[in-house]
Structure 1
C-alpha cells in the first residue's frame, strides 16, 4: 500500500513521464504539416525591375486557394487530405532579400517547403540555408544548370528546378539557327543573372557548329535602359539576334529595335518571351516573327480555347487573383508549379520533407496541367535532376506562337554547366 507521500511521488513521476512523452512526440512531428494542414511558402519579385515574374507567386496563391476551397485540399500519399496555408514574401529577385525571406519562412512561418521562387542568383543565395534546414526548395523558376547536375544535387538534395536548363536551351537554339540560318551573323545579349549560363553554352555550341557571333553584349538589372546596347548590336550588321534577358528589358529591346528599324531574326529565351508579360506590352505588331522555345500551353493560342486544363486555369485565376492576366505566361508558370507540387504531395507516402523530396526525385512521365502535350516531368535521383528536358520551338504571329517543327526531347542529355 502506498502512503500519501508515495502516492504523491508516483503521480508526480507519472505526470513527468507523460509530459516527456508528449514533448518527444511534438519534437518528432515534422514542422509545417499536421493531419489537416500544410504550410507552404514562396519568395517572389513583387516589386523592382523584375516584378514581371511576380505573377508566378501570385498564381500559385490562386491555385492553392482553389484547391482548398473547391477540392477540399490535397489528398496525400498517406491517405490524409490537407489544406494549404500559403505564405508569400517579396524579394525583388535580390539574393540578400531572398535569403532573408528564407530565414523568415523557416524560422517564423515554419513552412514545410517552398516552390516557384524566381531568379538564379536569388535561389543560389538561399539554397544552402534551405538545404541545411532540410526544407524543400522545389520547382524554382530558373534554368541555372547547377540546380540539376549530379554533383550539385548530391550536395543540395532539397533543391529542384522547374525550367529546362539554360545550357540545354542554348544548345537547342544554336542547333535551330544552324538548321534555319546557317550563314547568319549573330548578335547575343544576356543579363547578368541566369543569362551567363545560357550565353556560355550558346557560344560553345555556336563555335562547335561553325556559327558566326559578331557581337556579344551583357547588361545588369540595375541599368535603367539597354537602348545603347541595342544600337551597338544593330550596328554590328547582325541578322540574327539572340535575346537572353527579362521581360522588362525584352520590351525595351523590341521598342528600340522598332525605332531604329533593325529587323533581324529575333530569338528570345523562354523566361523572357511571355506574350502577356512582354510581347503584347511591347506591341504585337513589332513582336511578330519572334522565335522562342515553349514548354507550356499558351492561353493566347485559340487552339487551347476548349482545352479543359486551360479553361479551368483561366476561370479560377480570374476568380482568385483577378488582377492577373491569364495570357501572362508567368501566371501560367505559377499555376503549373502549384499543380506540380500537388502531384508530388499526392505521391508522398509519409508526412515528412524527406518523403516529399524522395517523391519529387522519382517522377516518371508525370503529366501536369498546362504542360504541352508530349512534355512530362521526369527525375531519377541525383542522376537526373532536371524535371523538364523537352522543348517546342515556336514563332509569334502577333497573337500566338505557331509551332515550328516537332517537340525536341533532350531527356537525359542535359550537358554539364
Structure 2
C-alpha cells in the first residue's frame, strides 16, 4: 500500500507541475512582427496630397487619438507606434507604401488605408503576406469577403447598402421620378450605382435616364453637371469625393438646376463639402449617417460628444470640429483600440483578425443611437445601419428610423 500511495503522490505532484507549466504556457506572450512587450507598430496609408487630399485629416486624427491612448498608458501597457504614409490616392504609390510598411517598417498590420482603387491594388499582396488590412476606409462591398480575402475587413456601411436605402426612399416617395447619376469612374463609383439599380429593381431601367462618369484627374466636373441638367431629371444621385461634391453643388446653384439631390455619405461633411459649396446652395440635399453630427445641437450634452470635444481640445486642437472626416478618424481609431485590447498578450496577426471578426454589439460614443458594430467569421461588414438626413440651414437634420441596408437583406 505505501508503495502505491507513494506512486500516487508522485503522480499528483507530476500533475501539479504539469498544471503550472500549462497555465504558464497559456499565459505566455505571443508576438508577430510589429509587436513587443512595449510597442505595437501600426501601418497606415492616406491621401495627404492629390485629388482626395480632403481625407488626409483622417490619418492626422488617428495619429492624435493614438497619442491620447499612449498618454493614458497605451494598450495593455504597450505604446502604439503609428507609421502613416502618403499615396496621393494613386494605386501604384499605394503598392509602394504597403511594401515599405510590411517589409521595411515591419508593422503588425495595415490599418484604415483609404480609397477603393488604392485598397484594391494592395489587397492580394497583404493577403498573400497574411498581414491584416484592417478596417479599410472605403465602403466597397468587396471588403466583406472572408472566404477569399480573410485578411481584409471593411469598416463603414458599404456603398451598395447605402444606395439601397436611397432606392427604398425614392420608390416610396417618388416612384415615377427620372434619375440622373454622376459617379467616379472606378470601383467606388460603380459600387454605388449597382446598389441603386439593385434597390430600384425592375424600375431601374425606366427611372434612370442618365449615367455620367468622371475621372479623378479632371480639374472640374462643371461640364458633367451641365450635361445632366439637360436630361430634365428630377432626382440627382451624386456619387463623388469631397472636392467634386462641392463643385457639383456650386455648379447646380449657378445654373439653377434644382432636382431632389442625393449625396453619398462619404461626401456629407459640413466642413469639407457643404460649407465650401455654400450653405444656401446645399439646402434640401439628402444623405445618410451613422455618426453623430458635431453641429447638431441635440448632442450638446451627449457624453460621447463631450468625450470627442475633450479629445480635440487636448490632443487635436487644429482639427476642424465640423469636418465629418475628423469624427470618422476618431471613431475607427476607437474600433482598432477595442480589437487590440481584446487581443491581450496574443498580438499575432491571426489573433488580431480573430478578435476583429468577433465584435458583438459594440457601441461607440460617436455613433448614432441604435447603431452598433457587429462582425463574425463569416461577416466582415462591421457597420450596416444608417439613418437618412436632410440638409437644413447650416446642419443636417436626421429623419425616419435607423435602417439596415444589408446586401441581400
Q: Normalising by structure 1, what TM-score?
A: 0.87
Q: Deviations over 1:281-337 (max 9, x none)?
A: 111111111110101111111111222222222332343333320211111111011
Aligned to 2:356: 360
Aligned to 2:49: 47
Measure, in 2, the Cα distance between the counterparts of 1:414 and 1:205.
Answer: 10
Task: Tell me the CA shift for residue 276 of structure 1.
Answer: 1.1
Measure, in 2, the Cα distance between the counterparts of 1:226 and 1:159.
Answer: 33
Q: How do residues 262-341 of structure 1 correspond to structure 2 at under 5 angstroms?
A: 262-341=257-336
Aligned to 1:9: none
Q: CA RMSD in A?
A: 1.5
Aligned to 1:348: 343
Residue 146 of structure 2, aligned match among 129, 146, 153: 153
Aligned residue for 2:150, secondary structure, equals: coil
Aligned to 1:67: 69
Measure, in 1, the Cα distance between the counterparts of 2:276 and 2:197.
Answer: 30
The size of the alignment, in residue pairs, is 377
Q: How do residues 38-187 of structure 1 correspond to structure 2 at under 5 angstroms?
A: 38-69=40-71, 71-75=72-76, 81-148=77-144, 152-187=145-180
In the alignment, is the contact (CA less than 8 A) between 1:56 and 1:331 conserved in 2?
yes
Measure, in 2, the Cα distance between the counterparts of 1:160 and 1:325.
Answer: 28
User: Any stretches of 5+ residues in structure 2 without a counterpart?
Assistant: 1-29
In the alignment, is the contact (CA less than 8 A) between 2:283 and 2:391 conserved in 1?
yes
Task: Tell me the CA shift for residue 137 of structure 1.
Answer: 1.2
Aligned to 1:25: none
Which stretch of structure 1 is more off in the superposition, 344-353 or 86-95?
Answer: 344-353
In the alignment, is the contact (CA less than 8 A) between 1:294 and 1:391 conserved in 2?
yes
Aligned to 1:12: none
Measure, in 2, the Cα distance between the counterparts of 1:391 and 1:281.
Answer: 25
In the alignment, is the contact (CA less than 8 A) between 2:303 and 2:365 conserved in 1?
no
In the alignment, is the contact (CA less than 8 A) between 1:167 and 1:415 conserved in 2?
no
Measure, in 2, the Cα distance between the counterparts of 1:48 and 1:319.
Answer: 29
In the alignment, is the contact (CA less than 8 A) between 1:363 and 1:377 conserved in 2?
yes
Aligned residue for 1:159, secondary structure, equals: coil
Aligned residue for 2:135, secondary structure, equals: strand
Task: Tell me the CA shift for residue 207 of structure 1.
Answer: 4.0
CA distance 1:130–1:317, change in 2 (3 Å): farther
Measure, in 1, the Cα distance between the counterparts of 2:273 and 2:185.
Answer: 19
Q: Deviations over 1:81-104 (max 9, x none)?
A: 211011111011111111111111
Aligned to 1:220: 215
Residue 188 of structure 1, aligned match among 181, 188, 191: 181
In the alignment, is the contact (CA less than 8 A) between 2:183 and 2:239 conserved in 1?
yes
Q: Normalising by structure 2, what TM-score?
A: 0.89
Measure, in 1, the Cα distance between the counterparts of 2:365 and 2:213.
Answer: 35
Task: Tell me the CA shift for residue 200 of structure 1.
Answer: 1.9
Q: Deviations over 1:249-270 (max 9, x none)?
A: 0110011001001111111111
